[in-house]
Amino acid sequence: MGSVFGNNIKLSLFGESHGEAIGCVIDGFPYGINIDYDFVDSEMDRRRAKNAKLATARTESDKPEILSGILENKSTGMPIAAIIKNENKRSGDYSNLKIMPRPSHSDYTAMLRYDGFNDIRGGGHFSGRLTAPLVFAGALAKLALKEKFDIEIAAHIKQIYNIKDKYPNNTFPTYEEFIANYNKELSVFDDEAMNKMINIIEEAKMNMDSVGGIITAAAFNVPAGFGEPFYASIESRIAQSMFAVPAVKGIDFGLGFDFVNYKASECNDLYTIKSYDNIKKVETKTNNNGGILGGISNGMPIIVNAVIKPTPSISKEQLTLNIETKEEDTLIIKGRHDPCIAVRAVPVIEAALAIAILDLCIDMKGKLI
């Protein structure tokens, strides 16, 4: 089934955008992990729509109801099940999409795959609404990674449309510098770039359009030597997890596709020895490969970039196909949609990375004991 991820951690997502609830089941989660509910709530809040100018007007409380797997604030080792109620639904906005599929959305392909029995309301199971339980699962994964391995996950908006963020002093930031941005209107480092991004998003919304973006996520303190070559590479695991996020259309690591602009002598990561409290550690002078070589971690931060396409549901009149008449027709999409998905996707991409890294760590270290 396409809604299940993981080798050791088995994460299953369920529900539809306008159904009674959405949720997840996490099987194989380590036992004895301290569950910080305040942290979980803060992660859920980061994904919520709070500014109607930059996000959808649909507001949800997104409070997870944990049904099993946690007792007295600790994980029991049994499957963790949680639901999130859908409280703000306007299903009538989608009544015409059974015969008028939205361009660049899953309406048409889902209709073909499930012979028209798919729930079309708000995108159904294909909706970005399903990222809420993903963020819940990611929050738990972050807690387990921090407690057992001191691994930390963070992300920022690298680019929206043609506006790029800038790192302080042109050096890759620390985890603490990443999370200092979480209280900003956008998770970026450079305030000037942030203001330009906000203007671009607001302009797109006023013009009944949308824009895309790139999110860069990092996993700090992943031990060197974790991973496998070929089909079990760290890149393969992370890509499988991240491509489950709706609207993600590209993944790369470190310099990624920018490698084409360099010669090897300009971009090779050269080895060096650094001392921390009189302990010598192998590092690389640069991290252009994003902390992974041969599918295996080298001890540097794992850096992954996710490209998120513009929201396909826009209010401009668009050409589509009338499934009943088999003729071209015009469509004006109703409903409430994000003018830029990347704005709220930062914790989602972090969650996808955290779940993949936790699954990897359990592979390398068994039950994490």
Residues annotated within a binding site? 47, 53, 125-127, 294, 309-313, 336
DSSP per-residue letters across 303-318? EEEEEEPPPS--SS-E
By DSSP bridging, strand 65-68 and strand 279-284 are unpaired
Cα(311)–Cα(82) distance, integer angstroms: 28
* CA 54 remoteness from chain centre: 18
Which of these, 91, 101, 95, 85, lies nearest to 20 by C-alpha position? Answer: 85
Annotated binding site for FMN: 125-127, 294, 309-313, 336
Inter-residue contact 155 to 162 (CB < 8 Å)? no
Interatomic CA distance for residues 358 and 223, integer angstroms = 12
Give the span between the Cα atoms of 222 and 235, in whole angstroms. Answer: 14
Cβ pair 68, 284 in contact under 8 A: no
Do residues 63 and 117 touch, judged by C-beta distance below 8 A? Answer: no
Please list, in sequence order, all residues whose beta carbon lies within 8 angstroms of the beta carbon of residue 163, skipping any fewer than 6 positions away: 193, 196, 197, 200
Angle in degrees, CA 66, 146, 70, rounded to 5 = 20
Output Rg (C-alpha) for the chain, integer angstroms. Answer: 21
Binding-site annotation, residues for NADP(+): 47, 53
Residues 6+ apart with CB under 8 A from 50: none
Write phi, then psi, for 271 (nearest 5 degrees): -80, 150
Whether 290 and 267 have beta carbons less than 8 Å apart is answered as no
> First CA to last CA across the chain, in angstroms?
31
Residue 8 one-letter amino acid:
N
Q: How many DSSP H helices and E strands does the chain contain?
A: 8, 18
CA-nearest of 236, 263, 239, 235 to 249 is 239
